[in-house]
Amino acid sequence: MLWGPVGIVIVLLLVTAARTFGVNQEYQRAVLFRLGRLGTTKDAGWYWLIPFVDRVVKVDLRTVTIALETQETVTRDGVPVKVNAVLWFRASDAARVVMTVENWQRAVIQAAETAMRDAIGQSDLDQLLKERVQINQRLLAMLSEACERWGVTVDAVEIKDLDIPEQMQRAIAREAEAVREKRARIIKAEGEREAAETLASAASTIAGSKGALELRRLQALTEIGVEHNSTIIAMMPVELLEAAQKLAGKGQS
């Protein structure tokens, strides 16, 4: 009969002894409350507690990765879109995380979804399609400002998918096709202009030299002969043409 009370006392002593110490992993911090008041934050390793007086709340400092739910919103130019994003965040101040917000991870997710809708509403559709990095930076700045007072650091947030209406996709495709066609026409026109300038320069050079003109005539005869064409082409020498022009000039005078 004596072992019954003694056993109870031993069990109570063991339970009390077990409550006098705790241990944190390297990625954990323990926020101490003594008689309900905030105390010191315990780092990784062993720490001692006053039984039935001290209480600790552990906070995980590892980075949390969350895929945000798809949000339906409207851009600044009135285009309805569906967007989702990936968020990376972590607790940087364990005491502030415990003291300022009840469910800090849920609070960060809600703030991220709200900030994403705000960032999309402040941007045009072209900016969403072409300036994704700037949109992510703006979203990160908005979210970091909201979460800093909770003791939470947002490492990164990136828009992953962007869905736009089908008719808008067709309009964007037509616009891109028109831009490519315009570019092709400009390149072709520039090529024709450069070719015309080159031909004009060559013609000016040949016309200013009798020897060059005669060489060009002989080259043309050689090129025609290579084709084995049966048609005979007779070309009047340049000297005869000049003599005929002189005679024509004298006859008119």
Same domain, 15 and 83: no
Q: Which residue has the higher pLDDT, 21 or 170?
A: 21
Same domain, 157 and 78: yes
DSSP 235-253: ---HHHHHHHHHHHHHHH-
Residues 41 and 34 sit within 8 Å (Cβ to Cβ): no
Same domain, 44 and 116: no
Domain of residue 123, CATH code = 3.30.479.30
| Residue 21: partners with Cβ closer than 8 Å, 6 or more residues away | 46, 47, 48, 49
User: How far is the C-alpha of 135 from the C-alpha of 76, rounded, in Å?
Assistant: 13
Same domain, 142 and 153: yes
Instruction: Specify if 218 maps to a domain.
Output: no
pLDDT recorded at residue 53 = 85
Instruction: Specify if 108 maps to a domain.
Output: yes
Strand partners, 90: 153
Considering the entire predicted model, what is its pTM? Answer: 0.61
The pair of three-digit structure tokens given for residue 220, joined into one six-digit string: 């043309």
What's the pLDDT band for 134 if we cut at 50, 70, 90? confident
Residues 152 and 115 sit within 8 Å (Cβ to Cβ): no
| Digit-coded pLDDT (tens) for 71-105 | 888 888 778 888 888 999 999 999 999 998 888 99
**In the predicted model, what is the mean pLDDT of residues 164-171?**
68
pLDDT recorded at residue 251 = 54
Give the number of domains in the chain: 3
Q: Which residue has the higher pLDDT, 28 or 237?
A: 28
